[in-house]
Amino acid sequence: MTDIARLSRLHAALMTPYDADGEISEPCLRNLIAHVRRQGIDGFYVGGSTGEALLQTTEERLRVLSIVAENAGDAARIGQVGAISTREAVRLAKGCAELGYDAVSAIPPIYFPHGKDAIIGYYSDILEAAGGLPLIIYNIPAMSGVTFTPDDLRRLLDMPNVIGIKQTSIDMYQMEQLRRAFPDALLLNGYDEMLLAGTVAGANGGVGSTYNVIGSNYVEMIAALRRGEIEAAQMLQAKSNALIDVLVEVGVFPGLKYLLYRLGVIQTPVCRKPLATLSSSTSERLNAAVAGLTAWA
């Protein structure tokens, strides 16, 4: 199977469970991986924003990548290796190659302002370190602070072994432009609340935070779309978005952790500081959602 064919699917943006002391809980991570697979999700995007990777040490990030490699079975695996420094990104890319990942992905270098030539150099260094693994650009301007124009994205996609983009943007026009300009590229929709729109605009897969909790709903939605059942797909997107509306109010990542905790998938709702950790006293609206979620899990 070609890289793009294997990666054209739904990938859970995997969360990282912690114990009460804020250390990575390996048993809970293994349980979460199994929980995601039971929902019909057969891809993992590891070390992204949802995984709180930028709040972890390089050694912690490598350990999470390793645990997923050991427990994901035949699921597709993409390792997000982007970092503030090229040195860290290179080390993570080498780790993904050693662990047998299908591809690496990377946010652009953040915080310091960089010219586009420097960003191209950063991606070139990651590609060299990845030992032949394909690279998926992670375009998330709302969080990275880096805005890629269509020409920038074309320049990136023209790089050898760059096979696609994780497009976390509400700009569906740009998604369609990319599909038109690069009909064979891998385009992964990055906003869960717009998976249906992104797929119609040209995405051939998705990466999502809420796939950790309601992955089966997205699997069903894409199946309905492929059958031509548009109204059914719209209803399933709306069902997901009703939960996302609540998560946006309380904080998406802390809210998802809390839901997984209440569902018994992980043992604590702890997030890595400075992210907030929710409790029953701060999560009244999520408490009301838990009963309904048991039918989705």
Catalytic positions, written as ranges = 138, 166
Strand, coil or helix: 78: strand
Backbone region of residue 210 per phi and psi (left: phi > 0; alpha: psi in -120 to 50; beta: other values): alpha
Local structure of residue 231 (DSSP, 8 states): H
Query: Quick one: tokens of 88?
Result: 């860290």
70-73-76-77 Cα dihedral, nearest 10 degrees:
-10
Distance CA 243, CA 263 (A): 15
The dihedral through the CA atoms of 229, 243, 38, 168 has a sign that is: positive
Please state, as a whole number, how many other Cβ atoms lie within 10 Å of the Cβ of residue 21.
8
Local structure of residue 282 (DSSP, 8 states): G
Distance CA 63, CA 26 (A): 9
Which residues make beta-bridge pairs with 201?
none
The dihedral through the CA atoms of 251, 253, 254, 257 has a sign that is: positive
Tell me, what amino acid is at 98?
Answer: E
